[in-house]
Amino acid sequence: LEARSEIVRRHQRNVYNLGLRLIGREEEAECVLQDTFLKVF
């Protein structure tokens, strides 16, 4: 569980920013962030 938290901590900003650049809406970028980490784990 600690390793997962560390992965999220290290990468969440980059994943969110990428989603925001690709989609252009904060709400959708948050969904991209959540979906990404759900698929990873």
**pLDDT 10s digit of each residue in the chain, 41 long?**
899 999 999 999 999 999 999 999 999 999 999 999 999 99
Q: Please give the Cα distance from 11 to 37 (Å, whole number).
A: 10
What's the domain count of the chain? 1
Stated length of the chain: 41
* Angle between helix 2-23 and 26-40 (nearest 10): 140
Q: Is there a contact between 15 and 36 (Cβ–Cβ < 8 Å)?
A: yes
Name the residue range of residue 36's domain. Answer: 2-40
| C-alpha–C-alpha distance, residues 30 and 20, integer Å | 8
Q: Residue 10: its pLDDT value, please? A: 97
pLDDT at 1: 83
Tell me the whole-structure pTM to 2 decimals.
0.84
